[in-house]
C-alpha cells in the first residue's frame, strides 16, 4: 500500500511539471509532443516624462512596446510651454481601452507631458511695445514695466517667433498703457494677450562694478552704467563720470548702488597734525619751512598750517602729499625761513 502511494505521487508530480513547461503536452499514451504556441507579448512600460511636438498626445507617447494603434490620439496636448500631469487612474483606463499590457503599481504613479516650445523673451516684447508707444512722442530714454509677473511668451516648436502688437492705449497723465499682444503666425500663433503696465523715463547712472574700500581711488575700470527709473534717482546722486573718477569713498561702498555726492571725496593728501613742508616760490629761489597741519585736505584745498619755528598760523594751499604752498603777501611775510 505504501509503495503504491509513492508511485502515484511521482506520476502526479511529473504530470504537473509537464503542464508547466511551454511547448509540451502529454498524449494519451504518455508520450510528449511538441505543440506550436504564440510568442509571449512583452509588457508595456509607462513613460513618466514626455515632451510632445504635436497638439495631441498619442498612445505610444505614454507607453512602450505598443504595436496596435500606436498613433492613436488619447488626449489633447497642453499649450506650448505648459505641462500636464496624468494620474494613475486615467492612465489605467487608457491602457485598458487600447489593450495595453500595463497597470499602475500604486495610485501615486503619474506621467508628466510637456509641450515642446520656443520662447519669446520679455526684452523683445518690451521693444515692440515701446515702438508702438512712439506715436505718443514719449522720447528716447523710455522703458516699460508690466503690472503682472509676465516673463515670456511660448510658441509651439517650429513656429516663427514674431511679435504682433494688435493695439495699444496710453494715458499721458498716469503713464499707464494697455496693449493687446500676439505672437507667431498662422496655426502656430498664440491667442491675444492683454498686457498692462507703466511707461517711464530712464536715466543712465554710474555705479561701482565691485566693492571699493575707504581710501581707495575710484578708477574708470571700477565703474559701470545701469538704467534706472528717472523718478527714483535722488537729486544728490552722481550722474557724470567726471564727478566720480579720482574720488575716494568716505566709507566702503557696495557694488551696484547709486553713489551720492556725500559718499565720496577727493583723496586726502594732508591729514590733521601731519608735518608738512611749506614751499614759497620767489624769483630764482625756492624757500621752504616746516609746519604742522591743523586741518586735513585734498589737492588744492586751503588749510591752516602752524609754522614750526615762529608758531604763527598761516593759510596755505595743498600742492601734493605732505606739501603746501603760500600764495599771498601776508603769508609770505609771516613765513619764517630757515
What are the domain boundaries of the chain?
Answer: 2-34, 49-115, 118-265, 268-334
Rg (CA), the chain: 43
Question: What secondary structure letter does DSSP report for 99?
Answer: T
pLDDT at 151: 74
Residues in the chain: 338
* Residue where the block lists cell 485598458: 96
> What are the pLDDT digits (tens) for 193-235?
888 999 999 999 999 999 999 888 899 999 999 999 888 899 9
Q: How many CA atoms lie within 13 A of 22 on its CB side?
A: 5
Same CATH fold assignment for domains 118-265 and 268-334? no
In degrees rounded to 5, what are phi and psi of residue 168? -145, 140
The rounded distance, in Å, linking the Cα atoms of 285 and 118 is 79
HEC assignment per residue over 295-338: CCEECCCEEEEEECCCCCEEEEEEEECCEEECCCHHHHHHCCCC
Residue 330 has a pLDDT of 53
Note the Cα 15 to chain centre separation in Å: 72
Measure the N-to-C terminal CA separation of the chain; round to a whole number of Å: 144
Going 124 to 125 to 126 to 132, the CA torsion angle's sign is positive
> Per-residue pLDDT tens for 142-163?
889 888 777 778 888 877 778 8
CA angle 87–90–93, rounded 5-degree value: 145
Residue 119's pLDDT is 84
Pick the CATH number of 118-265 from 3.90.1210.10, 3.30.70.270, 1.10.10.410, 3.30.540.10: 3.90.1210.10
Instruction: Identify the segments of the chain with pLDDT beneath 50.
Output: 1-38, 336-338
φ, ψ dihedrals at 18, nearest 5°: -65, -40
Q: Kindly give, in sequence order, each residue whose CB lies less than 8 Å from that of residue 9, ignoring residues fewer than 6 positions away.
A: none
Q: What is the pLDDT of residue 1?
A: 42
| pLDDT for position 40 | 52
* 302-310 contacts at long range (C-beta below 8 A, 24 or more positions apart): 303/270, 305/276, 305/278, 307/278, 307/334, 307/335, 307/336, 308/275, 309/336, 309/338, 310/334, 310/336
**Topology given in CATH for the domain delimited by 268-334:** SH3 type barrels. (2.30.30)
Q: Which pLDDT score is estimated for 301?
A: 87
Q: Tell me what pLDDT residue 30 has.
A: 41
Amino acid at each position: 500500500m505504501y509503495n503504491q502511494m509513492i508511485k502515484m505521487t511521482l506520476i502526479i508530480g511529473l504530470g504537473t511539471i509537464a503542464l508547466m513547461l511551454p511547448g509540451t503536452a502529454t498524449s494519451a499514451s504518455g508520450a510528449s509532443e511538441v505543440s506550436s504556441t504564440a510568442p509571449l507579448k512583452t509588457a508595456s512600460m509607462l513613460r513618466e516624462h514626455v515632451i510632445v511636438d504635436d497638439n495631441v498626445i498619442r498612445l505610444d507617447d505614454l507607453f512602450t512596446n505598443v504595436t496596435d494603434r500606436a498613433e492613436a490620439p488619447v488626449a489633447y496636448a497642453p499649450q506650448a510651454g505648459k505641462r500636464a500631469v496624468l494620474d494613475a487612474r486615467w492612465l489605467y483606463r487608457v491602457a485598458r481601452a487600447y489593450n495595453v499590457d500595463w497597470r499602475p503599481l500604486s495610485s501615486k504613479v503619474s506621467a508628466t507631458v510637456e509641450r515642446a516650445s520656443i520662447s519669446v523673451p520679455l526684452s523683445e516684447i518690451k521693444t515692440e511695445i515701446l515702438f508702438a508707444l512712439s506715436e505718443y512722442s514719449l522720447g528716447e530714454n523710455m522703458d516699460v514695466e508690466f503690472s503682472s509677473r509676465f516673463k515670456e511668451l511660448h510658441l509651439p516648436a517650429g513656429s516663427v517667433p514674431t511679435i504682433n502688437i494688435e493695439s495699444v492705449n496710453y494715458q499721458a497723465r498716469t503713464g499707464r498703457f494697455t496693449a493687446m499682444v500676439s505672437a507667431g503666425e498662422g496655426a502656430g500663433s498664440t491667442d491675444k494677450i492683454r498686457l498692462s503696465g507703466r511707461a517711464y523715463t530712464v536715466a543712465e547712472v554710474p555705479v561701482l562694478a565691485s566693492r571699493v574700500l575707504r581710501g581707495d581711488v575710484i578708477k574708470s575700470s571700477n565703474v559701470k552704467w545701469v538704467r534706472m527709473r528717472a523718478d527714483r534717482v535722488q537729486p544728490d546722486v552722481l550722474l557724470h563720470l567726471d564727478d566720480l573718477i579720482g574720488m575716494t569713498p568716505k566709507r566702503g561702498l557696495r557694488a551696484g548702488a547709486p553713489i551720492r555726492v556725500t559718499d565720496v571725496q577727493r583723496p586726502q593728501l594732508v591729514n590733521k597734525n601731519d608735518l608738512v613742508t611749506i614751499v614759497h616760490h620767489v624769483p630764482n629761489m625756492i624757500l621752504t619751512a616746516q609746519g604742522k597741519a591743523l586741518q586735513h585736505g585734498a589737492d588744492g584745498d586751503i588749510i591752516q598750517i602752524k609754522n614750526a619755528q615762529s608758531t604763527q598760523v598761516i593759510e596755505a594751499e595743498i600742492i601734493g602729499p605732505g606739501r603746501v604752498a603760500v600764495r599771498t603777501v601776508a603769508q609770505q611775510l609771516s613765513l619764517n625761513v630757515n
